[in-house]
Amino acid sequence: MEVNSFTLYRQKRQRERQLNHVTHSSAVVNIKLDALKKLAQALLVEVSSLEQNKGEVGRVNLDLSEEVREFEADLIRCALVKTDGHQAQAARLLNIKPTTLHEKMKRYGIQQFEVQKDESDEPPVEGDAETTICEEGTESTPE
């Protein structure tokens, strides 16, 4: 009887470990899938942006102020993507005041970023949200 109860205990513990492993593995897979979906969406938007701007690559005259405006607008979009559209957090990330961020968003025509959360968990259609691929450690431009 002692061996039988010990065997039952071992089997019970083994089932618990397997269940915990499956639950943990499922959570990890879901997190990785969500990250890949966001990355794929950002890549599609970046490809679209590059296709639209491919005619500009060969231009000879560069306008520094226009380039700075485009760079600043991209930084703002990047911060909004990283913070899931929270303007106060994005402003903190850019080291500017929230009111300054809001003014710049108006100036550059950046619409309020809305996180797309569908029940189907599919990424939004290309062009629904303004996104860009953001590199870690990107510095903001001065106010």
For 3-30, what is each residue's pLDDT tens digit? 677 788 888 888 888 777 777 777 777 8
Cβ atoms of 50 and 68 within 8 Å: the answer is no
pLDDT at 89 > cutoff 60: yes
Beta carbons within 8 Å of 93's beta carbon, 6+ residues apart: 79, 82, 83, 140
* Backbone angles phi and psi of 112, in degrees to 5: -55, 120
At residue 105, the pLDDT reads 92
Cβ atoms of 131 and 77 within 8 Å: the answer is yes
What is the signed CA dihedral for 78, 84, 88, 94, rounded to 10 degrees? -20
For residues 98 and 39, the model is more confident at: 98
Most confident residue range from 39-48, 90-99, 129-138: 90-99
Residue range 2-55+62-108 in CATH 3.30.390.50: no
For 39-68, what is each residue's pLDDT tens digit? 888 888 888 888 877 766 666 677 889 999
Question: In terms of Cα–Cα distance, which of 64, 47, 69 is closest to 131?
Answer: 47
